[in-house]
Amino acid sequence: MTRQPFLLTTPAMPVGDLLAASGADVPEPLDPIPDQPEETPPDAPLETPDAPDLPPDDLPQELPDLPDPEAPEESPDDTPAFPETPEELPDTTPVLPDETPEDAPAPWDPLPDDMPQEIPTQPGFEAVTLRAGQPLDAGKLGDIISQAVTAATWKPRLHSSVEDIAHAGRMIDKGWITVAELDGRIAGFLAREGDYIHSLYIADHAQGRGVGSALLTAAKEGRDRLDLWTFQQNRGAQRFYRREGFAAGEETDGQHNDEGLPDIRFTWTR
């Protein structure tokens, strides 16, 4: 017969119970200490998370070189250098001659005799330009004569327009004619032989614009007396001559004029 190994069938007991049963001193278990935050001593250094190593404060920092504001700025090699003194510019002022040319008229020299003369008229009238009559003026002066004869319905027509132009041409040739212009247009004329005024005509477009006054003013210059005849029926001409300082004189029945109309003599004296 086979012997079986001895097996302990007594139920297992805790070690403590076993020690108590044997009479040995068994220390009492300690109560577990609850988790409490650890107190840091006041003088303990604070722990900070790991940070990258920084250079100490006492290490010199290398800074890039900054330009000195007081130092002169250096120009690149290919920049032309400016001269220290500004470049002098040439004088472009024109040089005027010190002497006046001999043929230049002095400001006090009188105007030539053949230069048109501008006569100031009464206030409200334009300036009238006067000049000596020229042969080419005959056509225009003849037209002015024809227009005046046509406008005076009481005056008989003795000559054609062609004859009026020829008559104007003869007076121009004798040097009797002074032409008046307004705005470059012939506005009238006066025919004077010495102290006697043969005729005074004003164009239709220049009536009442001071042309007649300008012609008479020029005729009076350098003279002490002027005489003329006009028709007694021409009342407007009589008023005009009286306004210009003429006085009425001798009257006739017209036996001495071509038209055979009564006329009257007017005289101006200085």
Per-residue pLDDT tens over the stretch 178-218: 999 999 999 999 999 999 999 999 999 999 999 999 999 99
Q: Locate the domains of the chain by residue range.
A: 115-223, 224-270
Burial grade of 74 (CB within 10 A; 0-12, 13-18, 19 or more)? exposed
What number is the average pLDDT over the span 238-243? 97
pLDDT in tens, 31-50: 555 555 555 555 555 555 55
**In whole angstroms, what is the distance from residue 270 CA to residue 268 CA?**
7
**In whole angstroms, what is the distance from residue 192 CA to residue 127 CA?**
22
What number is the average pLDDT over the span 85-109? 51
What number is the average pLDDT over the span 88-103? 55
CATH number of 115-223: 3.40.630.30
Asked if the model's pLDDT at residue 90 lies above 90, the reply is no
**In whole angstroms, what is the distance from residue 175 CA to residue 167 CA?**
13
pLDDT score, position 107: 37
Asked if the model's pLDDT at residue 264 lies above 60, the reply is yes
pLDDT score, position 180: 98
Query: Alpha-carbon dihedral of residues 142, 145, 147, 153, nearest 10 degrees?
Result: -150
